[in-house]
A and B are shown apart, each in its own frame.
Chain A
Amino acid sequence: MADDANKVNGADEAPIKERVKPDPPGYFEGESMTRRHVFTVASQALGGLAAAGIVLPAVGFAVAPIFHRGKERWEGVGPVSDFVEDTYRQVVFTETEGIGDAGKTTAYVRKSSADLGEEPGKFVAVSNRCAHLGCPVRFVEAAGNFICPCHGGVYDFQGKRIGGPPVRPLDQFQTRVRQGQVELGPRYSVTSQMEPVRARDPGEFTGGIWEYLYPPRPSTFPPP
């Protein structure tokens, strides 16, 4: 083998004995890699670096929205006197800017009620987005329930699920009062015990182990 390697170099027989014979063949003294191997690895590494330089920014650009949280947005929906304790008033406000009517969403707003164990003097804004797959639910005055037209989800007056396929209560919006106006803010989800958690998409359970199986997304706002 060693002889073959030398013949490739085109050397004559005689001076070979004086020269240092590479051992193992192809390697010279002090080398741990052949030169050919060094250049192969180096050019592959450079190529990989160049490819990464192109691919990583592009992929990052595509997945960046997962980690981006938009500006917190508050919108007034009417004076305090518009809202009562025992029924909801339907309001429409913009949740996503820049896409016209498609960015608007509907909320059902009422005053908080001590009878339901809520802190008095606040306002409750229930999202009309069904917790099953996101269809718009409607508050039916006569029944005092929220009913979803798509797959028959039913929620009680507070928004807790009482029938059909939904997996959790209806989402809510943060509320505050500014200059006599009730303002609605970011969306949040609630557990079956009505404890606020970060907003989840429809179809995702909340509370207990589900908080880990459906982890909170960085693009949502912390709950109140």
Chain B
Amino acid sequence: MPSFPKPKIPDAVVPPPLRKPAKPGSAGTPKGQAPTDLKETPERPSHGDKLLDQAKEAPIDALGWVDQRLAATGFLTGMLFRKVPKGTNWFYTLGSATLFAFIVQATTGVFLAMFYTPSATQAYSSIAHINNDVPLGQLVHGMHKWGSSVMVILIFLHMGRTFFFGAYKYPRELNWVIGVVLLILTMTMAFTGYLLPFDQRSFWASIVGININGTGPIVGPYLSDFLRAGPELGATTLSRFYAIHMLLVPGAIIALIGAHMYLVVKLGTTAPPWVKTERPKGAMPTSELEAGANGNGRVNGAAR
């Protein structure tokens, strides 16, 4: 079994309090002897050298100061240098890609909100203003508009990867559930965001979408009234969709992404299904194990 090289953490990243002290004798001095160079009078460092040293140490000291109070190094090194299974490949980046798409949406969304007016009479003209007058407005609006499709596509690909690699199985079921909620929230974002330009397309698409919601028996009609804030699509509908799109769902998505990633780090990722487990030396031979697992899932016929 090939051993993984121990991750080398660059010294500059590690604050002095956590830095490993140098081994005695490692710097050319024989063990048990005083370093020879101490016998000579050490050259006194000039004032300029001292300043230079201080300047070099300053960022590390500052980092150390923060870290002594946060104690984040252990967490960060554990998270950033965690081991991943053999066979990890590009498909495993789809989750990060979705996260990146979300960050793009959040950033461009904040800047769009600086120019957008969520009012039924002014929404359309404020979007036209963003597209036609604001420098780079069309670009930022375009990033947000197309980015939403990118995010929906990526989240489905990520879900497909998880499904086809069997990565939803024990002990990761809860992360699958959180992921499904994130998928629903992403679709909610796509639906509520679609109305905001308030042009013909978004107006009629929202009417159709709300009416599809309304076809659910018993609760459907009330759900439609809730979404529209009334019996017809009106002035409050737009601000309601805006509030859901801007405040409610993004907060929930950020919180759930945190939980999702915590579980990824905590539980680790799975190997692809085509990578066979390597059994450590001295473990039970595979043949015996297979004979023991007598079809009912119990290993070695063990009684419960």
Query: A residues bordering B, Cβ < 8 Å?
Result: 62-63, 65-66, 68-70, 95-96, 98-100, 102-103, 133-135, 150, 199-204, 213-217, 219-220
- The 8 A CB mask of B244-288 against A (1 = contact, 0 = none) is 000000000000000000000000000000000000000000000
- Does chain A have a CB within 8 A of B62? no
- Whether A99 lies near B221 (C-beta < 8 A) is no
How many residue pairs link A and B with beta carbons under 8 A? The number is 84
- Whether B211 lies near A217 (C-beta < 8 A) is no
Chain B residues near A200 (CB, 8 Å)? 221
- Whether A102 lies near B231 (C-beta < 8 A) is no
- Whether B208 lies near A65 (C-beta < 8 A) is no
Chain B residues near A203 (CB, 8 Å)? 211-212, 214-215
Picked from B198, B208, B225, the residue with its CB within 8 Å of the CB of A134 is B208
Within the complex, the shortest CB–CB distance from A129 to chain B, in Å, comes to: 9
Q: How far is the CA of A63 from the CA of B224 in the complex (A)?
A: 11
- Whether B221 lies near A215 (C-beta < 8 A) is yes
- Whether B121 lies near A99 (C-beta < 8 A) is yes
16 contacts between A and B (CB under 8 A): A70-B231, A102-B120, A102-B203, A102-B233, A103-B234, A103-B235, A133-B212, A134-B211, A200-B221, A202-B211, A204-B215, A214-B218, A214-B220, A216-B221, A219-B230, A220-B231
- Whether A199 lies near B231 (C-beta < 8 A) is yes
How many B residues touch A, CB cutoff 8 Å?
Answer: 30
- Does chain A have a CB within 8 A of B236? yes
Picked from A98, A99, A213, A217, the residue with its CB within 8 Å of the CB of B217 is A213
Q: A99-B121, A200-B221 are in contact. List 9 more A-B contacts (CB 8 A).
A: A65-B228, A96-B234, A134-B204, A201-B221, A202-B211, A202-B214, A214-B220, A214-B221, A219-B231
Within the complex, the shortest CB–CB distance from A166 to chain B, in Å, comes to: 12
- Whether B220 lies near A96 (C-beta < 8 A) is no
Chain B residues near A68 (CB, 8 Å)? 230
**Which of A201, A202, A219 is most buried by chain B, counting CB atoms within 10 A of its CB?**
A201
Query: B residues bordering A, Cβ < 8 Å?
Result: 120-121, 198, 203-204, 207-208, 210-212, 214-215, 217-218, 220-222, 224-226, 228-236, 238
Given A98-B120, A103-B234, A203-B212, A213 and B222 contact (CB-CB distance below 8 Å): no
Q: How far is the CA of A133 from the CA of B228 in the complex (A)?
A: 15
Residue of B nearest to A69 (CB): B231
- Whether A65 lies near B230 (C-beta < 8 A) is yes
Within the complex, the shortest CB–CB distance from B185 to chain A, in Å, comes to: 17
**Which of B121, B204, B214, B221 is most buried by chain A, counting CB atoms within 10 A of its CB?**
B221
Within the complex, the shortest CB–CB distance from A219 to chain B, in Å, comes to: 4
Residue of A nearest to B232 (CB): A96
- Whether B204 lies near A217 (C-beta < 8 A) is no
Within the complex, the shortest CB–CB distance from B80 to chain A, in Å, comes to: 38
Q: How far is the CA of A201 from the CA of B210 in the complex (A)?
A: 9
Picked from A95, A98, A135, A202, the residue with its CB within 8 Å of the CB of B235 is A98
Q: How far is the CA of A147 from the CA of B17 in the complex (A)?
A: 78
- Whether B215 lies near A63 (C-beta < 8 A) is no
